[in-house]
Amino acid sequence: MLLSTFAFAFMNALVKYLIHYPTFELVFFRSLGTLILTYFLIRSQKVSLQPNQPKLLILRGVVGVTSMSLFFLGIHFIPIGSAVTIRYIAPLFGGVLAVYFLKERIFPFQWVLYFLAFLGVVLIKGFDASISLFGVGVVLAAAFFSAIVYIIISKIGKRDHPLLVVLFFMGIATLTGLLGSINNFIIPNGYEWVLLFLLGFFGFFGQYYMTKAFQNDEASKVAPIKYSEVVFTLSFGVYWFGEVYTLTSLIGIALVILSLTFSVLYKAKRIQDEQSS
């Protein structure tokens, strides 16, 4: 999971560095690289390309590329550390949506933790003029669509291979990015070709190692480590881009991470207690 979060953090930093490219062009290159690597992995593992639930796979792709595009757009307006933290509010939206669509429960104390996490987002914006309210809103929208992705993936379950799910997602995202940037496509210069394709490279390995982590250990133990992506990305923001975070913003970031981490651990503990009683 640490390898996964570092790969995603480096991808986030590259998006920020390449921010002079249109959002959809960044979506195109990020998706194309991952699409190619995923296809070769599918062929090497001899995974069937015949989907069992094509409608859900297409829906996952459409919702996923919407979330990705909004997140890349939001990075234009706010520091990457803040953007990643706000995107991680997705479990809050996901928990609420899961109650209605997956019939899951939210324990009363989780509502307190969700409130604290949302309060953290408010503190991140705070009175810091460098953090755009529009940017915060865009990334919150990205988090909401990310939460819908969680619901769709839960509906897909194990009836379709995880690599096939990623392939559909990246295929739809590549097509969307291409169509969205076709009228204002910027031809990359020199080494930026490499950086653009590295978006897909790090995106692929971030996804791959995250999947491996969840396959090899309990979700309640692995999921909290995913929030280290915020720390890695924030570090890139400070040392690579010279971003400055106010004390209020740092408190807000910590509040989001701690609240959502405790929510995962608390829910796992409650379910374990109920199963053993």
Query: Which range among 98-107, 187-196, 255-264 shows the weakest confidence by mean pLDDT?
Result: 98-107
Please return the burial class of 48, using the count of CB atoms within 10 Å of its CB with bins 0-12, 13-18 and 19+: exposed
Q: What's the chain's average pLDDT? A: 88
pLDDT for 67 equals 95
Note the pLDDT tens digit of each residue in 2-56. Answer: 898 999 999 999 999 999 999 999 999 999 999 999 999 999 999 999 999 999 9
Q: Indicate whether 113 pLDDT > 70.
A: yes
94 vs 67, residue with greater confidence: 67
Token pair listed for 163: 């690599």
pLDDT above 70: percentage of residues in the chain: 94
Element (H, E) at 101: helix 90-101
pLDDT of residue 129: 66
Residue of higher predicted confidence among 84 and 226 = 84
pLDDT tier, 107 (very low <50, low <70, confident <90, very high otherwise): confident
Nearest to 261 by CA among 232, 210, 235, 222: 222
Position 42 scores a pLDDT of 94
Closest Cα to residue 167, out of 5, 13, 24, 54?
A: 54
Phi/psi at 20 (5° precision): -75, -10
Asked if residues 34 and 203 have their Cβ atoms less than 8 Å apart, the reply is yes
200-215 CB burial, b ≥16 within 10 A, e <16: bbbbbbbbbbbeebbe
**Residue 219 has what pLDDT?**
57
Contact 227, 85 (CB under 8 A): no
Tell which wins on pLDDT, 260 or 36: 36
Output the pLDDT for position 64.
93
Q: What is the model's pLDDT at position 43?
A: 93
Q: Write the pLDDT tens digit of every residue in 194-249.
A: 999 999 999 999 888 877 776 566 656 666 777 888 888 889 988 898 888 888 88
N-terminal to C-terminal alpha carbon distance within the chain: 31
What is the rounded CA–CA span in Å between residue 12 and residue 18?
10
Q: Give residue 218's pLDDT.
A: 62
Q: How confident is the model at residue 100 (pLDDT cuts 50, 70, 90)?
A: confident
pLDDT of residue 161: 87
